[in-house]
Chains A and B, each alone.
Chain A
Amino acid sequence: MNNLPEYPDQALDDAIEALLAGDLSQADSDKLRQAATTDQQLAAAIVSAWSLRKGLDGLQTETVSAQLEQRLLAIPSQNSNIWQRWFNFSNWQAGQSWALGSVMAMALIIAIGVQQQPSREEILQASEELEIALAYVARTLNQADKTTRAELSFQVRRLLEDKPAEPAQTINL
């Protein structure tokens, strides 16, 4: 298949295809038509190419079903790994992973430090950094907590609005 010879009537075939597509110049079209009046084989080739072209032009791109489209659009949610989904969970992912990373790094420093008998300055430094990291974690979690509460409150309000009117209940914590 790799060394296919050029077929002998390629120019003629190209001309017929161009004629059918309307891409052939008027002069060339006339010349081809004129030739077809005396050449039966050429005439048959044009008719056969025209019939095929007519059929092929009627073929259209198929449309996917609504179910298949849903399946396709669901691919990202079904084909992400669990860690990716966890990292994509919310907008505060960057801060959270940074904070957790810092905590882990601090824990590692402390663990190594315990084995290597660190100096007083090193312990102080590690403690300060740990404090900063923990403060960041706390702030991030606080932010997440606020967001969750706001969302929860919004959802509850929506649920309540959809129900028939009932006396409001006060929740005493």
Chain B
Amino acid sequence: MSRKFHNMVKLHQNQVFTLALYMLRDRAEAEDVTQETFIKLWQRLQKTDEEIKRAWLLTVARNACIDRFRKQRPISNEAPEPVDLEDPHFHLEQDQLGAWLKQAIAGLKEPYRSLIVMRDVQQHSYKEIAQMLEMSMARVKVCIYRARQQLREKLPEAELV
């Protein structure tokens, strides 16, 4: 069972961490959420033989991120802050548009934020996303459309950064 768990860690750790990082915009918190998610995976693996898929992991990670938002701060609806060029993680970015987008995505409301990450960063299909978030395909499409619209509206700000 431990071997199975190790394989799943190797296979999915980056996906889980990416979702958490884009949602929380904080490496330490994203690492904690990733760890929490895999602890839940381990507990579940011990209880059941059923095949656990990536979708389950991402759903658990997303819920953990949302819980953190609820506990720590209200969900932000504000425009993203300008890119902090002193932040080493952003300093590593080759593309300033990419750095700005990360901030802009984190500034989106839920479920827009996780939908954009799942669709446009992690390249999941609409069908997969609909299953993960227990939404209809139509609703997923509408939300992604709205999320992109919001990002497009803010795009001119990126050119000023």
Whether both chains belong to one complex is answered with: yes
Binding site for B on A (CB under 8 A): 2, 4, 6-7, 10, 13, 48-49, 51-52, 54-56, 58-65, 68-69, 71-73, 75-76, 79
> Are A49 and B15 in contact, CB atoms less than 8 angstroms apart?
no
Closest to B142 in A: A4
7 shortest interchain CB distances as A-B pairs: A58-B98, A56-B120, A55-B97, A62-B18, A48-B152, A76-B2, A55-B101
Q: Given A6-B142, A62-B17, A64-B34 in contact, is the A55-B98 Cβ separation under 8 Å?
A: yes
Report the separation of the CA atoms of residues A68 and B21 in the bound assembly, to the nearest whole angstrom. 13
Q: Across the interface, do A59 and B121 meet the contact criterion of CB distance under 8 Å?
A: yes
Structural contact, A58 and B122, CB atoms closer than 8 A: no
- Whether B13 and A10, one on each chain, are in contact in the complex, defined by CB atoms closer than 8 angstroms, is no
Where the two chains meet, the residues of B that have a C-beta atom closer than 8 Å to any C-beta of A are 1-2, 5-6, 9, 13-15, 17-18, 21, 31, 34-35, 38-39, 42-43, 95, 97-98, 100-102, 116, 120-122, 138-139, 141-143, 145-146, 148, 151-152, 155, 158
- Which chain B residue shows the least CB distance to A44? B152
Main secondary structure of the interface of B (DSSP, over half): helix
Contacts A48-B152, A64-B34; A59 near B142 (Cβ below 8 A): no
Known interface pairs A4-B142, A73-B6; A58-B95 also in contact (CB < 8 Å): yes
A76 with B42, Cβ < 8 A, contacts A52-B155, A55-B97, A71-B35 known: yes
The CA-CA distance from A54 to B146 in the complex, in Å, is 18
Q: Quick one: which of B1, B97, B121, B143 contacts A54, CB cutoff 8 A?
A: B97
Q: How far is the CA of A60 from the CA of B31 in the complex (A)?
A: 17
CA distance A63 to B151 in the complex (A): 25
- Say which residue of B6, B43, B120, B152 sits within 8 Å of A59 (CB atoms): B120
Is the Cβ of B102 less than 8 Å from the Cβ of A59? yes
A71: which B residues are within 8 A, CB to CB?
31, 35
Cβ contacts under 8 Å, A6 to chain B: 138, 142
In the complex the two chains form, what is the Cα distance from A79 to B43 in whole Å?
Answer: 8
- 22 intermolecular pairs with C-beta atoms under 8 Å apart: A7-B145, A7-B146, A48-B155, A51-B97, A51-B152, A52-B155, A55-B101, A59-B102, A59-B120, A60-B121, A61-B18, A61-B122, A62-B14, A64-B14, A64-B31, A64-B34, A71-B35, A72-B13, A75-B35, A75-B39, A79-B39, A79-B42
